[in-house]
């Protein structure tokens, strides 16, 4: 069992630095006195009757808190894993994270292709001390190279007898939510949203932060990785037009067989099954961290604390660098408040922020894809969306990434999609990805023992670049 440790935010008064969305809320935007205690009582007891007795706000319900107590029959139980303490409410690191989120909200409608040249993103880069190649991107080397989006979010998806172009319904640009205090306040207490999107009549390839945020709004959480698997399963490098084995990992016992091919084991059926398996397990581990340990305040609520402080209503211990941010000032100039604009009408989900659920699933699914497919295989003929999202154009011929690099980029596209929406700090994603990787590795430690094939074990590269081998006895070597 890992040692579970949270930061000291719960020691701050009135629970203002802890998650409380959906609970009864004061007119200042804090959880009513005593209401947070009913949540803690339920969490400490784990009894369904205590969860039913949690003080309720105005309609919407808490998302699956009792999932925090579940167990798994494959891999480690959810409570075996731990995340480091989340960045503190009043710290410099949190201030930098929230500053980035204000810039993300302001830049939602700027095409990814124009990040290097647009005035607003150049200003964001200066304040965040980020170069155009790193602005709003993930931390892996793959994220810094080529177009913003992974090929797995751009290329057509082979599906049944049809090839599906990745053009999606997207919201009309320029419409954000929770930008007035009255709307923000009601949403905090659980009132369902009453404002809605205006939808673009033309489907688009994902071209900007708003499009990406909507993609991860209602996806089933392993969807991007199942799409990636479908693309890889039907991938035919020119050197092997008739041979699907070329895309599989070198550890696959059927990769070089002249007599057999994998399907139920070491084949397509196994890939899609395992993506689903690790998704549920990663979510259980994330939910145990969210509800039982960290209960981190959501970014939209943090934006409320910024607004009240800047407006002189309540002074919260927010780091001065955030209060002096050019992004916060620009937000006030645009909306008349200091609230963090949200991409979704309902704002953040009604469960704590840390770690990110999408991030945990992304980390777990990345392990499965890398364990099954050849990370070093190349992906030529890359494409990216035009600035208007109406077409795909070829990338420069010099950009030929590996499969592993595009999996890493996909992980961070999914994570950053939630940040583009305004609902997750970057550190939520960092912790979630590592947690998901650990969960998937623990599951592979069990599954590696279940084969009768001549199989030496799994080998793959984690997001931090470390090489992992899981041997037939379940041992992990790094």
- pLDDT, position 160: 86
Average pLDDT of the chain to the nearest whole number: 95
Task: Express each pLDDT in 387-412 by its tens digit.
Answer: 999 999 999 999 999 999 999 999 99
- pLDDT, position 58: 85
CA distance 348 to 422: 8
CA distance 400 to 145: 10
- pLDDT, position 245: 63
Is 463 a domain residue?
Answer: no
- pLDDT, position 286: 98
- pLDDT, position 131: 87
Looking at the whole model, is its pTM more than 0.75?
yes
**Arithmetic mean of pLDDT, 458-471:** 97
Please report, for the domain that includes residue 183, its CATH number: 1.10.606.10
- pLDDT, position 144: 92
| Contacts of 194 by beta carbon, 8 Å cutoff, 6+ apart | none
CA distance 204 to 206: 6
Looking at the structure of the chain, the number of domains it has is: 1
Strand-pair partners of 402: 378
Domain that holds residue 39: 9-452
Q: Is the dihedral of CA 224, 227, 229, 232 positive or negative?
A: negative
Task: Express each pLDDT in 212-253 by its tens digit.
Answer: 999 999 999 999 999 999 999 887 654 444 455 678 999 999
- How many residues does the structure list for the chain? 478
The share of the chain scoring above pLDDT 90, in percent, equals 92
- pLDDT, position 243: 53
CA distance 410 to 154: 10
- pLDDT, position 315: 97
Task: Express each pLDDT in 101-155 by its tens digit.
Answer: 999 999 999 999 999 999 999 999 999 999 888 899 999 999 999 999 999 999 9
The share of the chain scoring above pLDDT 70, in percent, equals 98
**Arithmetic mean of pLDDT, 435-460:** 96
- Grouping H, G, I as helix, E, B as strand and the rest as coil, residue 205 is strand
β-strand pairing of 167-168 with 204-205: antiparallel
Strand-pair partners of 471: 457
Residue labelled with tokens 């549920």: 280
- pLDDT, position 57: 87
Higher pLDDT, 198 or 237: 198
- pLDDT, position 59: 85
Is 460 a domain residue?
Answer: no
Q: Is the pLDDT of residue 205 over 90?
A: yes
**Arithmetic mean of pLDDT, 346-353:** 98
């Amino acid at each position: 069992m890992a040692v579970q440790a949270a930061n000291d935010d719960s020691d701050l008064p009135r629970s203002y630095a802890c998650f409380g969305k959906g609970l009864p809320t004061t007119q200042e935007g804090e959880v009513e006195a005593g209401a947070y205690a009913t949540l803690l009582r339920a969490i400490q007891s784990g009894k369904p009757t205590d969860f039913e007795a949690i003080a309720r706000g105005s309609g919407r319900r808490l998302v699956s808190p009792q999932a925090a107590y579940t167990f798994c029959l494959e891999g480690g139980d959810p409570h075996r894993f731990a995340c480091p303490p989340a960045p503190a409410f009043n710290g410099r690191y949190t201030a930098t994270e929230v500053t980035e989120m204000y810039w993300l909200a302001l830049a939602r409608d700027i095409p990814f292709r124009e990040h290097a040249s647009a005035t607003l993103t150049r200003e964001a880069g200066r304040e965040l001390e980020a170069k155009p190649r790193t602005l709003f991107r993930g931390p892996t080397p793959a994220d810094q190279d080529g177009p913003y989006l992974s090929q797995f979010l751009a290329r057509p998806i082979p599906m049944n007898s049809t090839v599906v172009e990745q053009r999606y319904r997207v919201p009309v640009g320029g419409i954000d939510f929770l930008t007035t205090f009255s709307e923000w306040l009601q949403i905090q207490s659980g009132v369902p949203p009453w404002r809605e999107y205006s939808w673009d009549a033309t489907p688009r390839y994902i071209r900007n932060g708003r499009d990406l945020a909507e993609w991860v709004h209602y996806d089933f959480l392993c969807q991007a990785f199942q799409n990636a698997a479908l693309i890889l399963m039907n991938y035919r490098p020119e050197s092997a037009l008739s041979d699907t084995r070329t895309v599989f990992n070198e550890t696959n016992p059927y990769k070089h067989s002249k007599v057999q091919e994998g399907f139920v084991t070491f084949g397509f059926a196994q890939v899609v099954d395992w993506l689903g398996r690790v998704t549920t397990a990663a979510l259980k581990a994330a939910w145990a961290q969210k509800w039982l340990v960290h209960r981190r305040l959501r970014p939209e609520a943090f934006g409320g604390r910024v607004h009240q402080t800047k407006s002189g209503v309540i002074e919260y211990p927010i780091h001065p660098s955030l209060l002096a941010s050019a992004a916060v000032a620009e937000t006030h100039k645009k909306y008349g408040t200091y609230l963090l604009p949200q991409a979704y009408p309902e704002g953040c989900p009604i469960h704590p922020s840390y770690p990110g659920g999408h991030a945990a699933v992304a980390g777990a699914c990345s392990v499965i894809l890398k364990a099954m497919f050849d990370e070093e295989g190349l992906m030529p003929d890359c494409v990216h969306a035009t600035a208007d999202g109406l077409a795909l154009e070829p990338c420069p011929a010099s950009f030929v990434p590996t499969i592993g690099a595009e999996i890493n980029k996909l992980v961070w596209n999914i994570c950053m999609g939630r940040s583009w929406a305004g609902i997750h700090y970057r550190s939520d994603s960092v912790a979630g990805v590592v947690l998901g990787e650990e969960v998937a590795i623990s599951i592979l430690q069990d599954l590696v023992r279940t084969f009768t094939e001549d199989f030496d074990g799994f080998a793959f590269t984690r997001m931090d670049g470390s090489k992992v081998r899981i041997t037939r006895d379940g041992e992990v070597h790094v």
